Amino acid sequence: MIGKDWQASEELLRLFRTIGRASLLLDLQDSHSGNMAVKWTDRSGREKIVITATGSQKGDLEASQICFLSPGETDYGYYKASSETDIHARILAIDGVRATFHAHTKDLVVATFDDADKPNKPPAFIPVDPLGWHHLGGVVPVDWLAVPSGSFEVIETVPKRLADHPATVVQTHGTFARGRTLQEAFFLLGIANTSGYIVRLLQKLGIDVDKLRAEIQTDPAAHFQYRPVPYEIGGDDVCDFPEEEEILAEFRKTGNRVFESRLSPFHTGSISARGVDHLLYAGKGAMPRDLGGPLRRLPIRQEAGDLNEILIHKLIYAETDFQTVMHCYLPEAEALAYFRYPGETGPADRVIPIDAEGGFLYLVIPVLPPKVDDETLIRKLHEYKVVIVRGGGVWAVGAQSLSEVLHHPSSVREICLYRIGALERGLDLRKMEPKKAQRW
């Protein structure tokens, strides 16, 4: 190949750079770590592997930092292709895989540490949250390798793992994920790291994670509100209401904030606003800037085949006067939903704010069981405006705007963080909670 051939197209460069920046916002890697690769067809119809250059800053990539590999040779350009190029090439050879992403997923890496004598076979990581359980197939393989980066061991091990699993961990090094698109691979990495974060939070709260895992493996359906929809490929630029500029801008701003504030992993959760006979709906609610999701106009009436996620939005509008609805998979709330006060046998049915602003906004926040019926969910939303469903995320409603409904999960995250922080310090939450809230 000659020099110009390894210059990335504007569209491809924008995709790599945007996802690189989004991964930095999630703290999935440091300024120079990790790598991304995709299969790409050039104008002549030749398929190539496109991969980020070694040591490149993924959020500020230049065209020369994306390398194009032919089947028989590599054109390194000004920069050298990733030291893990061979690993990505083998992953991309898996049937149906067109993208792969490696990142130093800190929470999942820490959650899979052990201090056993080496060599050893670490246990697989078992998610306990609904997104991790369903999207990762209930298990993430973990391998200890003597040389965890760029070695023959990695080249042999990681692609074999990814042939059967959407993500896999190289112990102490990070996570590899594969997808049909780079967006899907990023989605899976975000889900995997969030699952690691939730397990770490549960351990801080003194929850017996091994026992919880065994219970979920025995009866997964009993622990989750419902199965999240599979990740949908394409259509992220679809908008059914481009002429409604004001509400369109609000949807995009709200989706950006959900992602950037870590209220829900990338392309999870949902947002809606009521119309006269329709609702405006974002089914990939956490949307980074320049990485949007489909914005649809749907009938407000219930229809055969409505997905659970959409159906709950419609039920809320049918039974109340609320104008906006939001659903987030807030990791801090997911973990705190399993908290038990000392001496009690079951998880608490409420979260009580111990911070000043949280207490000003909410007396309590109800925690509902995974299989809560629709009537109870809607009644609690009518009474409290926001609820936590154990194994189902945070649901919130607003009387007017998207900004109003966004405030609820954002506040809940801070409330949960304060409670978790107090427990980390060994403080007695009962003494810190307002007495009137304890009588709720």
Q: Over the stretch 43-58, which tens digit does the pLDDT of each residue have?
A: 788 888 999 888 788 7
pLDDT band at 255; cut points 50, 70, 90? very high
- According to DSSP, the β-strands at 74-75 and 393-398 are unpaired
Continuous H helices in 115-207: 130-135, 152-162, 182-204
pLDDT band at 148; cut points 50, 70, 90? confident
Question: Which residues, in sequence order, are bridge partners of residue 351?
Answer: 365
Q: What is the pLDDT of residue 435?
A: 87
Q: What is the pLDDT of residue 80?
A: 54
Summarize the confidence of residues 188-215 as an average pLDDT: 97
Q: Which tokens is 440 given?
A: 């709720």
pLDDT band at 70; cut points 50, 70, 90? low
Q: What is the pLDDT of residue 437?
A: 80
Q: What is the pLDDT of residue 44?
A: 81
Q: What is the CATH number of domain 3-223?
A: 3.40.225.10
Is it the case that residue 76 has pLDDT exceeding 80?
no
pLDDT band at 81; cut points 50, 70, 90? low
Distance, CA of 222 to CA of 220 (rounded, Å): 5
Neighbours of 10 (CB within 10 A): 9
Q: What is the pLDDT of residue 292?
A: 92
Could you tell me where in the chain the CATH 3.40.225.10 domains are found?
3-223, 245-438
Q: Which tokens is 160 given?
A: 């074999």
Task: Choose which CATH entry (3.40.50.10860, 3.30.365.10, 3.40.225.10, 3.40.50.300) describes domain 245-438.
Answer: 3.40.225.10
Q: What is the pLDDT of residue 58?
A: 79
Q: What is the pLDDT of residue 82?
A: 56
Q: What is the pLDDT of residue 388?
A: 98
Question: Which residues, in sequence order, are bridge partners of residue 386?
Answer: 396
pLDDT band at 209; cut points 50, 70, 90? very high
Residues 6+ apart with CB under 8 A from 184: 99, 231, 233
Contact assessment for residue 337 and residue 388, using Cβ atoms and an 8 Å cutoff: yes
Query: What is the average pLDDT value for the chain, to the nearest integer?
Result: 92
Please report, as a single letter, which amino acid is at residue 46.
R
Q: What is the pLDDT of residue 3?
A: 42
Q: What is the pLDDT of residue 8?
A: 58
In the 8-state DSSP scheme, what is residue 7? S
Q: What is the pLDDT of residue 218?
A: 97
Q: What is the value of pTM for the model shown?
A: 0.94
Q: Over the stretch 330-358, which tens digit does the pLDDT of each residue have?
A: 999 999 999 999 999 999 999 999 999 99
Summarize the confidence of residues 407-428 as an average pLDDT: 97
Distance, CA of 366 to CA of 386 (rounded, Å): 8
Is it the case that residue 166 has pLDDT exceeding 70?
yes
Q: What is the pLDDT of residue 371?
A: 96
Q: What is the pLDDT of residue 390?
A: 98
Q: What is the pLDDT of residue 78?
A: 37
Is it the case that residue 167 has pLDDT exceeding 60?
yes
Q: What is the pLDDT of residue 66?
A: 84
Is it the case that residue 161 has pLDDT exceeding 70?
yes
pLDDT band at 60; cut points 50, 70, 90? confident
DSSP letters of 28-57?
SS-SS--EEEEEEE-TTS-EEEEEEBTT--
Q: Over the stretch 1-13, which tens digit does the pLDDT of each residue have?
A: 334 444 557 888 8
Is it the case that residue 174 has pLDDT exceeding 90?
yes
Summarize the confidence of residues 252-270 as an average pLDDT: 98
Continuous H helices in 40-103: 85-92
pLDDT band at 238; cut points 50, 70, 90? very high
Polymer length of the chain = 440
Percentage of the chain with pLDDT > 70? 95
Of 126-130, 267-271, 290-294, where does mean pLDDT reach its minimum?
A: 290-294
Distance, CA of 141 to CA of 159 (rounded, Å): 12
Q: Over the stretch 14-54, which tens digit does the pLDDT of each residue have?
A: 999 999 999 999 999 887 888 999 998 877 888 889 998 88
Contact assessment for residue 92 and residue 106, using Cβ atoms and an 8 Å cutoff: no
Summarize the confidence of residues 221-227 as an average pLDDT: 96
Q: Over the stretch 355-395, which tens digit does the pLDDT of each residue have?
A: 999 999 999 999 999 999 999 999 999 999 999 999 999 99
